[in-house]
Amino acid sequence: MMYRDETAFFTSADGGATWKKRGQISEGRKHSEADWIRLDNGHLFAAVRTDADLPDNVDAFRSTDDGRTWRFEGVLTLPYQNPGKLTRLPDGRILLSYGIRNNGLRGINVRVGDPEARRWAPPIYLVDLEGATDEPNLPNSKRDNGYPSTVVLADGTLVTAYYSRGMPSHHRYHVGVVRWALPPVTKK
């Protein structure tokens, strides 16, 4: 996979026929596969994958000027946990879904952030993919999984889709879907 040392933010004023670069999300670091969301306060928040040399996790960036400038805010995931997909929950909180590709721990995680994406809860291990491979009889079988995307259904439940290189029950590429719900928020 080739990464460029530029992750930019583009906008279109004609329904996607033409695009104009509005700003650059990262400078001097290798990033790719950005996902962004507009927060209720008007800020843009981006979850951006780092290159394997950095060590391949998801970084947070924020723009307070409609994408013209971006500020690095910190790391959202551990190494080899990427890329990130952002979803707004019905109560305004932000959900980050991402793949886990650590040896001994493979699967899909989610984290819940407050509506301003400043405070994040610990990860929730949503899908266990540790035994997933399409080459189960090889001593060093290849494994790959991730790229989850979550949507909110009308009844408030969540549906997360992901892929995996095989499953214990079949040894072909697999697209999985899990329907789930977060526990209710408790007021303190």
The answer to whether residue 32 is domain-embedded is: yes
Q: What is the predicted pLDDT for the residue at 3?
A: 44
Contacts 24+ apart (CB under 8 A), 109-118: 109/77, 109/81, 110/148, 110/150, 110/160, 111/76, 111/77, 112/182, 115/39, 115/40, 115/41, 116/39, 116/40, 116/41, 116/43, 117/37, 117/39, 117/43, 117/45, 117/60, 117/62
Q: How many domains does the chain have?
A: 1
- Residue numbers of the chain with a pLDDT score lower than 50: 1-3
The answer to whether residue 15 is domain-embedded is: no
The answer to whether residue 9 is domain-embedded is: no
CATH classification at residue 86: 2.120.10.10
The answer to whether residue 12 is domain-embedded is: no
The answer to whether residue 129 is domain-embedded is: yes
Q: What is the predicted pLDDT for the residue at 131?
A: 82
The answer to whether residue 153 is domain-embedded is: yes
Q: What is the predicted pLDDT for the residue at 2?
A: 45
The answer to whether residue 16 is domain-embedded is: no
pTM higher than the cut 0.85: yes
Domain that holds residue 103: 21-180
Tens digits of per-residue pLDDT, 14-62? 999 999 999 999 876 688 899 999 999 999 999 999 976 767 899 999 9
Q: What is the predicted pLDDT for the residue at 5?
A: 65
- Residue 156 DSSP one-character state: S
The answer to whether residue 105 is domain-embedded is: yes
